Structure 1
Amino acid sequence: MISINNLTFEIGSRALYDDANWHIKPGDKAGLIGANGAGKSTLLKLIVGDYSPTSGSISMAKDLKIGYLNQDLLSYHSDKSIVHVAMEAFERQNQLHGEIEVLLQKLETDYSDDILNKLSDKQMEFEALDGYSIEFRAHEILAGLGFSEEEQQRPLATFSGGWRMRVMLARILLQTPDILLLDEPTNHLDLPSIKWLENYLQAFEGAIVIVSHDRYFLDRIINKTVESRKGKLTVYAGNYSFYLEEKSLREEIQGNQFKNQQAKIKQEEKLIERFRAKASKAKMVQSRIKALDRMEKIDDVDDDNPSVNFSFKFSKPSGRHVVTLEHLSKSYPNLDILEDTGAIIEKGDKIALIGANGKGKSTLLRIVADADHDYKGSSTKGHNVSQTFFAQHQLEALHLENNLLQELVAFAPKHTETELRSILGCFLFTGDDVFKKIKVLSGGEKSRVALAKALTADANFLVLDEPTNHLDMASVNILIQALQQYEGTLIVVSHDRYFLDHVANKIWFIEDKEIKEYPGTYEEYELWNAKRVVKPDAKPEKKTVKEEPKKEKAPLEDDKNRVLQRKHKELSGLEQKIGDSTLRVKDLESQLAKEEVYSDANKLQEVTRAYNSDKATLEKFQQQWETLAEEIMELEG
């Protein structure tokens, strides 16, 4: 399908690719991965011909139909409706439709056989190209990507960049190309749209090459992983999880080979040094020196998975209740978001706020962060709460004339320069990069600096809006490690499910204009949510002569209400127990990490026994909560 042979591509004096090879076959669904700057997006541009190789070749069939999604499409502008823009994918069908309309107009005054024959031919070709269903297909794909029927009639120019990118994706999918090249396709999608796209791509019959930092997305779609590293392309015959296992195995073998070779080299060097001065051994010595020079050296394994080597510092812990939301109502013109709802964020909570775009996630996050005051009800901060809010608009708070290190030193004077360099390194700023002025950075680079600042703040409460945008997988892992060892409280909005699953211990979602909570990880929430069944409205039974009047059924309804009230009370009690138990488990976890505990065998045994007991109790409460919640839904259904 596409053959990349001995590809070399140089930018200035740097070779981004050096004799790289890859053959993309029909049916391949490949994830193209690598660190930021490894050339992933560049390779896609080379394939479509936007760039030309320095040497080598990229060959493909002349009639190969490529669908290419890239961030440059954000610049596309149109005042036409988005359904019209999406239907631009059907070039031939649209051309035929226009020609048919012209012929029909001519037919009003010209009944010649020539016009009739042309019209018949055009209509037959239009029907053969499934032209009568293209509008339905456009509506179907736009709906899958989150557009309502009303929104599909709005002009493209009225949508924000993220939503315009969805329209571009819809147009590419409608082209039904032989191969899809998708550069970060989930960047502007919410979770329901990501899941829809996963299902679509799983059923797509052509080849796919995806550049993405969303490892769950890759795992569900790809059957090959191609790593771009040090100018080469290495193919792994499996999804991203397979790649991690296989790469670990390869690195273990390579590491052992390196150690064995180094031991052999040292042995040879000792032998050479021992006999170098003896004339009778000169021939042997020279022979061994030449053998060492000819030896193909095995490289040591590079550590591509750096770990966090800085610590969060906040001067005072918060009280038990960090944020209390009461009787909260929020609406926009023609749209109610929240209605008389409430929730409590407690110390130690790490909450993932999830849901479809337009359901109020960002609005609720701004209310929690005190960035939105136009609502009814109250949002109250607890005792000693110090907060940092990270969102994309925080880029405006960066001081453009500062370099990166100056920006962080001024913001976080309690951290050493070494610690600040370390955190900047985690977010891809290494060496002399730390002396770059903020004003010369790209939007993505500024976003990473703002995130680094947020993590160095003297804050015991973090509010994070899409923190993984513009991060590669290694940096996402760094952020996960950082937030896992963070002892404060946080609430985060993100569409990266792997990130959420490894950071959150509670899930918030907005349903029926209320804040709902699931007390568990994202993976546990997904399993629980999948079991929820929306029951259709019950059909009324036909009345018979013997049917009792409705008022006679009131006692049964009263019984049901009393049962529901009791179960809701039990649920509240369990939630209180879960909260208390969670705090005890976290306290014991922190004790296990203290030197005075793990260095004392008796103390360690005592704390470990208490930890295991409390953790088992917590899991029991969580299971009871899940069972009770399902019973309540059955009764309310």
Structure 2
Amino acid sequence: MATITLHHLSFGYDGQAPLFTDVNLNLDAAWHLALVGRNGRGKTTLLRLLQHQLPFTGTITAPPTHYFPQPIPDPDQLTLYAMQAVSPAEQWELERELNLLHVDPDVLWRPYATLSGGEQTKVRLALLFVDADQFALIDEPTNHLDAASREQVAAYLQKKNGFIVVSHDRHFLDAVSDHTLAINKQTISLTQGNYSTYAAAKAQQDAFEQAENARLKTDIARLQATAREKQRWSTAREGDKHGNRHVPGSGAVADKGFVGARAARVMQKAKNLEHRMDAQLATKQTLLKDIEDIPSLTINTTPDHHRVYWHVTDLQLAYDRPLFAPVSFDLEAGERIALVGPNGSGKSSLLAALFGEFSGSQTGEIHRPASVTWSRVRQAYADLQGNLQSFAAARHLPYQDLLNNLKKLGLERASFTTPITAMSQGQQKKVEVAASLVTPANVLVWDEPTNYLDIDNQTQLIQAIQANQPTMLFVEHDQAFIDQVATKIIRLRPA
């Protein structure tokens, strides 16, 4: 059976702290391995190292690999030719895999650029598994996939040979993985089982370490107090040898030898206590290394007197054909409405229509009080320009509040001066989210906010929403997020 071996692997980017130091791992290439960890911990970097795309010290032994998402040199080509430009594949092989993914093979004869995000994902996954001799490295396949497509992709991957998959959808990871490799705060751990198995084991370990840390803290404080008392007594008794002290309760003068021996014994006990204390301090230092600090985010909500923020009646949008059947709803103060529907059903188009940005034809009515304010999280944010300070100034945002939320979301201080266009997709997403959080608004309008955010970031957003109870209209495919945030669901149905 093929294996992936990392022996004394070390790697770090220039000018930054090492991501990996003397890592040793033996992984079975037949495993369905979930790779998890906070953004910036090195998940994608590890996949690049397995492809020998970065310099490192140590050794890596791995079978030949294919990586998802593959770069597409010419997205305007017909999809078949666009895929064949990336990797040799016969038409029938791609059609076979697309059928398994519940995709009409006719997409091969449409320009790749015209496919939906979900179709593009599935086509590239099909290409990934055409060659069964290549080991698959799959980096965040669930972005832009609706709930049904995530289930289809999960069922597809369950039947494939070994792979490594990175995803921030915990339900998806539970469905596809049988082992979990976690890049923790200071260590790397391997768990037999899916993400929930890993999460439960880590929670149990964290609870044990916190309890042990509290016990050791109490014991160390007691030992310190006892050692200090014994040292004080021993020092005082040692002074008795040089004075004219009497034995208490008698008229006899204390024997200097007796006093010195007793003081020596007490001093030795004090030193023994110090040794015990040092041992416990050493044990204490091994604890809490991987416990994550997940600070609370702040949301700049500004409730007002309006009961209804948006009133939508018989709204229908179309390009060449209607995107969905007419829909009506009110967004009332305190509600958090989730717009759900399959990829291509018009969810993002509906959000655009609410702001007068839809370019197709439109029927029905949209009413919004003129004084309503909002903040947005968009799927595409290519207009993020400049550094964070100039960005905040252009948006009239409180700069320190923006940095505070970005720091809480895990953006490194070193990136605070990086041009936003030079940031990774995950970092740019954090800027988009943090900007929405600090914008004074009556309503939050978020389009797939969890894309590119790790599970801890998603937990932060959920907890902030539950604590602040903002009025929201949002699109999201992560069912855990919907379950914990939404107070109402609006389903877009085919026309």
For residues 402 and 218 of structure 1, the distance between their equivalents in structure 2, rounded to whole angstroms, comes to 34
- Tell me by how many angstroms 1:313 deviates: 3.0
Over 3 Å counting, the alpha-carbon distance change for 1:148 and 1:347 in structure 2 is farther
> Partner residue of 2:188?
233
For residues 26 and 338 of structure 1, the distance between their equivalents in structure 2, rounded to whole angstroms, comes to 44
> Partner residue of 2:242?
none
> Partner residue of 2:378?
391
* Within-5 A mapping of 1:341-380: 341-372=327-358, 374-380=361-367
Over 3 Å counting, the alpha-carbon distance change for 1:458 and 1:146 in structure 2 is farther
**1:22-47 Cα shifts (integer Å, max 9, x gaps):** 22125322211111111111111122
Amino acid at match of 1:243: Y
Identity of aligned pairs, percent?
Answer: 26
Over 3 Å counting, the alpha-carbon distance change for 1:329 and 1:355 in structure 2 is closer
| TM-score between the two structures when normalised by the length of structure 2 | 0.81
> Partner residue of 2:12?
10
Is 1:297 aligned to 2:271, yes or no? no
Amino acid at match of 2:78: S
Matched position secondary structure for 1:14: coil
> Partner residue of 1:313?
301
Tell me: higher relative CO, structure 1 or 2? Use CA pairs within 8 A at least 6 residues apart: 2
Matched position secondary structure for 1:27: coil
For residues 408 and 313 of structure 1, the distance between their equivalents in structure 2, rounded to whole angstroms, comes to 20
- Tell me by how many angstroms 1:48 deviates: 2.1
Figure out how many residues of one structure are paired with residues of the other and give that number.
Answer: 458
For residues 486 and 275 of structure 1, the distance between their equivalents in structure 2, rounded to whole angstroms, comes to 54
> Partner residue of 2:488?
506
- Tell me by how many angstroms 1:196 deviates: 1.0
- Tell me by how many angstroms 1:214 deviates: 1.0
> Partner residue of 1:400?
386
Contact 1:387 1:459 (8 Å CA) reproduced:
yes
Amino acid at match of 2:8: N
**1:288-328 Cα shifts (integer Å, max 9, x gaps):** 55565566333342642524253543051422x33222233
For residues 383 and 85 of structure 1, the distance between their equivalents in structure 2, rounded to whole angstroms, comes to 47
Match of 1:220 among 175, 178, 197: 175
Matched position secondary structure for 1:263: helix
Contact 1:89 1:175 (8 Å CA) reproduced:
no
- Tell me by how many angstroms 1:149 deviates: 4.5
Match of 1:248 among 203, 222, 242: 203
> Partner residue of 1:32?
35
- Tell me by how many angstroms 1:446 deviates: 2.9
- Tell me by how many angstroms 1:385 deviates: 3.3
> Partner residue of 2:461?
479
For residues 366 and 185 of structure 1, the distance between their equivalents in structure 2, rounded to whole angstroms, comes to 25
Contact 1:29 1:208 (8 Å CA) reproduced:
yes
Over 3 Å counting, the alpha-carbon distance change for 1:143 and 1:248 in structure 2 is same
Amino acid at match of 1:491: L
> Partner residue of 2:247?
none
Match of 2:71 among 64, 69, 74: 74
**1:524-579 Cα shifts (integer Å, max 9, x gaps):** xxxxxxxxxxxxxxxxxxxxxxxxxxxxxxxxxxxxxxxxxxxxxxxxxxxxxxxx
Amino acid at match of 1:224: H
For residues 96 and 309 of structure 2, the distance between their equivalents in structure 1, rounded to whole angstroms, comes to 43
Question: Which runs of no fewer than 5 residues in structure 1 stay unpaired?
Answer: 95-133, 514-637
- Tell me by how many angstroms 1:511 deviates: 1.7
| TM-score between the two structures when normalised by the length of structure 1 | 0.64
For residues 467 and 78 of structure 1, the distance between their equivalents in structure 2, rounded to whole angstroms, comes to 26
> Partner residue of 1:41?
44
- Tell me by how many angstroms 1:428 deviates: 1.9
Contact 1:324 1:379 (8 Å CA) reproduced:
yes
Over 3 Å counting, the alpha-carbon distance change for 1:460 and 1:146 in structure 2 is farther
Contact 1:18 1:231 (8 Å CA) reproduced:
no
> Partner residue of 1:331?
318
- Tell me by how many angstroms 1:264 deviates: 3.5
- Tell me by how many angstroms 1:159 deviates: 5.2
Is 1:202 aligned to 2:158, yes or no? yes
CA RMSD for the aligned pairs?
Answer: 3.3
Match of 1:174 among 130, 138, 153: 130
For residues 436 and 156 of structure 1, the distance between their equivalents in structure 2, rounded to whole angstroms, comes to 33
**1:428-480 Cα shifts (integer Å, max 9, x gaps):** 23556556564654444233222212122222222111111221111111111
Over 3 Å counting, the alpha-carbon distance change for 1:74 and 1:162 in structure 2 is farther
**1:219-243 Cα shifts (integer Å, max 9, x gaps):** 1111222210245320122222222
Match of 1:21 among 12, 16, 24: 24
For residues 451 and 340 of structure 1, the distance between their equivalents in structure 2, rounded to whole angstroms, comes to 30
* Within-5 A mapping of 1:251-290: 251-276=206-231, 277=235, 280-281=264-265, 285=270, 289=274
Name whichever structure is richer in helix by fraction. Answer: 1
Is 1:424 aligned to 2:406, yes or no? yes
Contact 1:403 1:438 (8 Å CA) reproduced:
no
> Partner residue of 1:622?
none
Question: Which runs of no fewer than 5 residues in structure 2 stay unpaired?
Answer: 239-262
Matched position secondary structure for 1:260: helix
For residues 157 and 430 of structure 1, the distance between their equivalents in structure 2, rounded to whole angstroms, comes to 34
**1:102-156 Cα shifts (integer Å, max 9, x gaps):** xxxxxxxxxxxxxxxxxxxxxxxxxxxxxxxx64442243356575454320233
For residues 488 and 477 of structure 2, the distance between their equivalents in structure 1, rounded to whole angstroms, comes to 15
